[in-house]
Amino acid sequence: MIKNKPCPECHSTMELKKTTLHFEREGFYADVENVSAFICPKCGTKSVPGKLAVNIGNTVEGLFKSAKEIKVSTEKDLAPAFSGISFHMVQA
């Protein structure tokens, strides 16, 4: 992994830290926690390494797709079957 990645915005040295990514789509939102990302200490720009970004993107897209299908299949006068998913890795 690349160290000392420069910030694309202000060119400060970015630090590899854990962060939470927030996604919103069609009335649902998802927070992905403890994501390893380069974060600029000066301007706060976040950069997630390519392969990880694709992985997170696919996971979140799948969640939104599933949640939307459940909502659509529910009868009109009923509320969505669920309004959120909390997904966590169990700490050993």
Q: How far is the CB of 16 from Zn ion (least distance, A)?
A: 14
Q: How far is the CB of 1 from Zn ion (least distance, A)?
A: 19
Verify binding: residue 41, Zn ion, rule CB under 5 A.
Answer: no
**Beta carbons of 36 and 52 less than 8 angstroms apart:** yes
Q: How far is the CB of 15 from Zn ion (least distance, A)?
A: 11
Stretch that binds Zn ion, among 15-23, 26-34, 45-53, 76-84 (CB under 5 A): 45-53
Minimal CA–CA distance to 30: which of 82, 92, 91, 90?
A: 82
User: Which residue among 10, 52, 70, 85 contacts Zn ion (CB under 5 A)?
Assistant: 10
Choose between 42 and 65: whose C-beta lies nearer to Zn ion.
42
Minimal CA–CA distance to 60: which of 91, 25, 34, 27?
A: 25
Minimal CA–CA distance to 47: which of 88, 86, 6, 80?
A: 6
